[in-house]
Amino acid sequence: MEPIIFAFAGKGGVGKTSLSAAFTRILAERYPDKKILAVDADPAVGLLTALGMEPALTLDDIRLRIAESINRGETADAVALLSEARFHLLDCITEKDNLSFLAIGRPEAAGCYCKVNAYLKQVLETISGNYDFVVIDGEAGIEQINRRVMENITYLVLVSDASRKGLQVISTIKDVAQKLVNCKKTGVIFNRVSPSFAPQALADLPPTLAVIGDDPNQTENDMLGDTVFCLPVTSPVYRGAAEALAKLLEDTPYASV
């Protein structure tokens, strides 16, 4: 079966990492016999921290290794280069039970970020097929959508708070994604909104997947530096993520779980 790929996007600080971590946890717990890949596509490396993982190597480290070996004239041809890249790639995937992790890393030099984004795109195309689910925590804003880093995905999950800026960002991402992203369904999770927030009043946005208020458990988790696995299942972030996930998977073989 084709992998189911979730990609999270939205303005900075709206909850993309918290929600993609919650999605990853729920998938890992509900489908223990399925393989899940969590991709931290944000150079700030938040997702792996939220999941309690520390990658030994990031994609940027691997990219640099390969670039160095080309510079030293060690790689004979394109075929050898590709197999070398695949070989190195295994070094930056950390595994724990049915979960695998991959982080883009934080390029040090100016101009490297677009290179590592291009690399991420190729890597995702190469390895996604090895997994049942892939959860991608995207960088804030529109850049990775514009660059088609996430060109072929199953679900685009837009996250926003109630701010005008947050809503503008998801509206722009939706428009750009319609042209540049091949995806089955797009939906919105409204996070950290007040109980009076009315998403139906917002014209022209994709369907609402969940509306989540301020979550004291999430705040406590933050203060203690705990992982998403410590979040009570009754907490609004966990519940909202579970609700959104159920809506996205409703017309798939995973619907009943």
Ligand X SMILES: Nc1ncnc2c1ncn2[C@@H]1O[C@H](COP(=O)(O)OP(=O)(O)OP(=O)(O)O)[C@@H](O)[C@H]1O
Among 215, 231, 238, 254, binds ligand X (CB under 6 A): 215
Applying CB under 6 A, among 51, 192, 211, 249 the residue interacting with ligand X is 192
User: Could you say which of Mg ion, ligand X, none residue 232 binds, taking C-beta under 5 to 8 angstroms by partner kind?
Assistant: none
* Whether the Cβ atoms of residue 172 and residue 20 lie closer than 8 Å to each other: no
Q: Is 46 in the site for Mg ion (CB under 5 A)?
A: yes
Q: Name the DSSP class of 226.
A: -
- 17 is a site residue for Mg ion (CB under 5 A): yes
# of chain residues touching ligand X (CB under 6 A): 21
Strand order in the sheet with 208-211: 94-96, 99-103, 36-40, 133-137, 4-10, 155-160, 185-190, 208-211
Query: Closer CB to ligand X, residue 83 or residue 219?
Result: 219
String marking each residue 220-239 x if it binds ligand X according to CB under 6 A: --x-------------xx--
Please identify the residue of the shown chain whose CB is closest to the bound Mg ion. Answer: 17
Which span sits near Mg ion by CB under 5 A: 15-23, 33-41, 62-70, 125-133?
A: 15-23
What six digits make up the tokens of 2? 């084709």
Identify what 13 binds: ligand X, Mg ion, none; CB under 5 to 8 Å per kind: ligand X
Taking the least distance from each CB to ligand X, the nearer of 66 and 162 is 162
Residue with tokens 């290794």: 65
CB of 200 to ligand X, least distance (A): 20
Q: If you ran DSSP here, which 8-state letter would residue 55 be given?
A: -
For ligand X, the binding residues in 39-68 under the rule CB under 6 A are 42, 44, 46
Residue closer to ligand X (CB basis): 42 or 84: 42
Structure tokens that stand for 164 in this block: 């005008």
Q: Taking the complex as a whole, how short is the minimal distance between the CB of residue 236 and ligand X, in angstroms?
A: 6
Query: Is the C-alpha dihedral spanning 226, 227, 229, 235 positive or negative?
Result: positive
The footprint of Mg ion on this chain (CB under 5 A) covers a number of residues equal to 4
Question: What H or E segment, with its residue span, contains residue 184?
Answer: none
CA distance 102 to 117: 13
Which residues are paired to 190 by β-bridges?
Answer: 160, 211
Bridge partner list, 158: 9, 188
Distance from C-alpha of 129 to C-alpha of 208, rounded to nearest angstrom: 28
Q: Which residues of 116-141 are buried (b: 16+ CB within 10 A; e: fewer)?
A: bbebbbebbeebbeebbbbbbbbbbe
**54: Cα within 13 Å, side-chain hemisphere:** 1
218 lies in the site for ligand X, by CB under 6 A: yes
Map the footprint of ligand X across residues 13-42, applying CB under 6 A: 13-18, 42
Give the nearest distance from C-beta 205 to ligand X in angstroms. Answer: 17
- Asked if 140 is part of the footprint of ligand X (rule: CB under 6 A), the reply reads yes
- Interface positions with Mg ion (CB under 5 A): 16-17, 42, 46
- Interface positions with ligand X (CB under 6 A): 12-18, 42, 44, 46, 140, 191-192, 212, 214-215, 218-219, 222, 236-237
